[in-house]
Amino acid sequence: MPKLRNFALVAGVAALVIYAMVVGQAILLPLVVSIAVWFLINVLAASFRRLPLVTLPRGLCLPAALVTAAGLAWLIADMLASNLTAIAAALPAYEARFDALLQDVGRGFGLEQPPGLNELVGRFDLQALARSTAGALASLASNAGLVLIYVLFLLLEQGGFNRKLAALFREPAKEAEARAVLAKIGNDLQTYIRIKLLLSLVLAVYAFAVLQIVGVEFAGFWAALIFLFNFIPTIGWIISLAGPALFALLQFDGFTPFLIVVLCIGLVQVLSNNFLEPALMGRSLNLSPFVIIVSLVVFGTLWGLVGMVLSVPIMVAVMIVLAHFRKTRGLAILMSANGEVSGQETEATRHQRKAET
């Protein structure tokens, strides 16, 4: 009965959290994005303090990180916004080329009347899709002011966080336990974000160079998408590769540009996601692939593209918190990839366990 009660309690809390995420999306989403941006700025500041060739003064690291994050956000937003209108205008021509390609393929298989693009996708309006995507980006931009205000206040508040944490816990053992949990979350997420950011930048620059050499239109747009979608685990690289590969297939007469884009960009993405990234991260990201997929679906359904990007950092933080408490440590083990979690019982938790025994 105690185990059943605990399971029911966990399920109830999870249901309430999901309900709050749906109902309070307009309030929670800008707040969560602000915390992610604030954390990214601190990761950049910590990286600037450890530059191998240039040593920045400690007081300049945070402003430099803030300027870098703002410049990167502006560059990506400019690439997306400046190309969306052109892509929407060019879609009818590409749709006609795709229909012609389907006709040729269909005749090659012996079909007298091969279906067109609209028949295949159920009269799907590609221009409407482009307009809805532009509307989603505009909605995200409308919250940029609120996110910026949140981030600035978080940066101002972070100096007094240690004093607040010390005042929050009267017992030194519990304070040490809380600091251990926060330190573990901070270290693992810093490693994850630093490596993801570096690899995403390298992949985006490399993809831009390949697309420019091949001559694929809207190379800046596809490079920005590759940067963003590389933060989405498992399926992000596939989605980001589909766009430039399809446009290369429709833009040119032969299959050579399409094969160059798929092989040159896709092969590097596969090597990065399956070999280089796990080797660099080590055990900092110890999530089960099944948990990653489930969190991707859940957060993507609730919060869209932003939720898919934030799904892994949120689940890493949840697993670390669960691992530091005896009653929830089993859940953390189930969420892990190899059954090993780094959370250890602190002095306060050991005393509590002995008292219960």
What integer pLDDT is reported at residue 127 of this predicted model?
54
Q: What is the mean pLDDT of residues 336-349?
A: 60
Residue % of the chain over a pLDDT of 70: 82
What integer pLDDT is reported at residue 254 of this predicted model?
80
> Under 8 Å CB-to-CB from 288, ≥6 apart: which residues?
334, 335, 336, 337
Note the pLDDT tens digit of each residue in 218-256: 898 899 889 988 888 878 888 889 889 988 888 888 889
> Under 8 Å CB-to-CB from 232, ≥6 apart: which residues?
239, 296, 305, 308, 309
DSSP per-residue letters across 38-103? HHHHHHHHHHHHT-SS----HHHHHHHHHHHHHHHHHHHHHHHHHHHHHHHHHHHHHHHHHHHHHH
Note the pLDDT tens digit of each residue in 285-319: 678 888 888 888 888 888 887 888 888 888 888 88
Question: In whole angstroms, what is the distance from residue 221 CA to residue 244 CA?
Answer: 9
Note the pLDDT tens digit of each residue in 29-55: 888 889 989 988 988 888 888 777 777
Residue % of the chain over a pLDDT of 90: 10
The conformational region for residue 232 under phi > 0 = left, psi -120 to 50 = alpha, else beta, is beta
Main-chain phi, psi angles of 336, to 5 degrees: -75, 165
Is the pLDDT reported for residue 130 higher than 80?
Answer: no
- 320 contacts 328 by C-beta, under 8 angstroms: no
Is the pLDDT reported for residue 356 higher than 50?
Answer: no
Q: Which residue has the tokens 């390609």?
A: 101
What integer pLDDT is reported at residue 5 of this predicted model?
75
What integer pLDDT is reported at residue 265 of this predicted model?
94
What integer pLDDT is reported at residue 264 of this predicted model?
94
Stated as kind and residue range, the H or E segment containing 104 is helix 58-108
Q: How confident is the model at residue 213 (pLDDT cuts 50, 70, 90)?
A: very high
Calculate Rg over the CA atoms of the chain. Answer: 24
Residue closest to 255 by CA, chosen among 204, 219, 214: 214
What integer pLDDT is reported at residue 61 of this predicted model?
87
DSSP per-residue letters across 163-175? HHHHHH-SSHHHH
Is the pLDDT reported for residue 90 higher than 50?
Answer: yes
Q: What is the mean pLDDT of residues 168-189?
A: 83
Note the pLDDT tens digit of each residue in 64-78: 888 998 888 888 878
Q: Supply the mean pLDDT for the chain.
A: 79
What integer pLDDT is reported at residue 77 of this predicted model?
79
Number of C-beta neighbours around residue 35 at 10 A? 16
What integer pLDDT is reported at residue 348 of this predicted model?
43
Sign of dihedral through CA atoms 17, 23, 24, 25? Answer: positive
Considering 156-165, 232-241, 255-264, 319-328, the range whose residues carry the highest mean pLDDT is 255-264
Q: How confident is the model at residue 117 (pLDDT cuts 50, 70, 90)?
A: low
**What are the structural domain ranges in the chain?**
19-168, 172-357
Is the pLDDT reported for residue 191 higher than 90?
Answer: no
Sign of dihedral through CA atoms 49, 47, 176, 172? Answer: positive
Tell me which amino acid residue 185 is. I
